[in-house]
Amino acid sequence: MTLRQAQDERVDAQLAGGSSGPARHVAIIMDGNGRWAKKRLLPRAVGHKRGVDAVREVVRAARHMGLEALTLYAFSSENWKRPEDEISDLMGLLRAFIRSDIEEFAANDVRLKIIGDYKVLPPDIVKLIEDALARTAHNSRTTLAVALNYGSQQEIARAAAAAAAKGAVTVAAIEAELDTADLPPLDLLIRTSGEVRLSNFLLWQAAYAEMWFTDVLWPDFTPGHLREALDHFATRERRYGGR
Ligand code: FPP
């Protein structure tokens, strides 16, 4: 989809309102890896590792369920405040995930996309990411957008500054500069582990999204839970401020 088509569709959808139809773009705040591990007296790193296993299954499910985009909050701009060894575990998992799963994405028409400023990650990971982006750039079935060093307020500020530099600070002009500009509108935002907040994730994009909060801890999240959230979404009537 071109940027222009994405914007036109967003405006059309907002004007039309009415029943939601199937979701096209789902985003997930994957929370609860630490608590999952703690409950089992395991190191946090094991919780994160099981979290990656859940990511793999959910990406496969998103593809089978026909989602056009799945956006996952993997590492926030605030996660740098975590202890160094945990950051290093998360980077190690990210490195291993790209290495092991890129073939599957390439073979199954999955396009990888990154939102956030990933260029400050360790240089070997930046290289792996850029190779994976190039390798899957022409895939079009499902986009897997991974948020890395991502903060929504920073994204909005950057987008507004870019729009201003081009001369117009309008909603459409800011949207066109967001990291998600080439994705369909966000339909459904899921957060696991019982926390009910957005934590600086997709604040702009969530303006008309449905929200689905579940107590399930991320490593226990299965394609069945995604199905449940999508079924719920399909019953919602979205009015975009109208009646
Ligand atoms: C929250 O659990 C989860 C994260 C901080 C990161 C999510 C990361 C992954 C699922 C693994 C890496 C992802 C990819 C795509 C390779 P938490 O540690 O905040 O859990 P807690 O709130 O129970 O302590």
Q: Which run of H or of E encompasses 76? A: strand 69-76
Residue 71 Cβ inside 6 Å of ligand 1? The answer reads no
Q: Which of 28, 46, 48 to mutate to test the pocket of ligand 1 (most atoms within 8 A of CB)?
A: 48
Q: What is the pLDDT of the chain when averaged over all its residues?
A: 93
Q: Which CATH number fits domain 23-232: 3.50.50.60, 3.40.50.1100, 3.40.50.300, 3.40.1180.10?
A: 3.40.1180.10
pLDDT, tens digit (0-9, with 9 covering 90-100), for 113-123:
999 999 999 99
The yes-or-no verdict on residue 15 having pLDDT over 50 is no
**Average pLDDT over every residue of 197-214:** 98
142 sits in which H/E element: strand 142-150
Q: Is the pLDDT of residue 241 over 90?
A: no
Ligand 1 centroid to residue 74 C-alpha, Å: 6
114 within ligand 1 shell (Cβ under 6 A): no
- The encoded tokens of residue 242 equal 């109208």
Model pLDDT for residues 100-146, shown as the tens digit of each residue: 999 999 999 999 999 999 999 999 999 999 999 999 999 999 999 99
208 lines ligand 1 (CB under 6 A): no
In which band, very low, low, confident or very high, does the pLDDT at 94 lie, cut at 50, 70 and 90?
very high
From CA 204, how far away is CA 182, in angstroms rounded? Answer: 15
Burial of 7 (0-12, 13-18, 19+ CB in 10 A): middle
Ligand 1: which of 33, 49, 110 to mutate, most ligand atoms within 8 Å of CB? 33
Query: Which helix (H) or strand (E) covers residue 29, if one does?
Result: strand 25-29
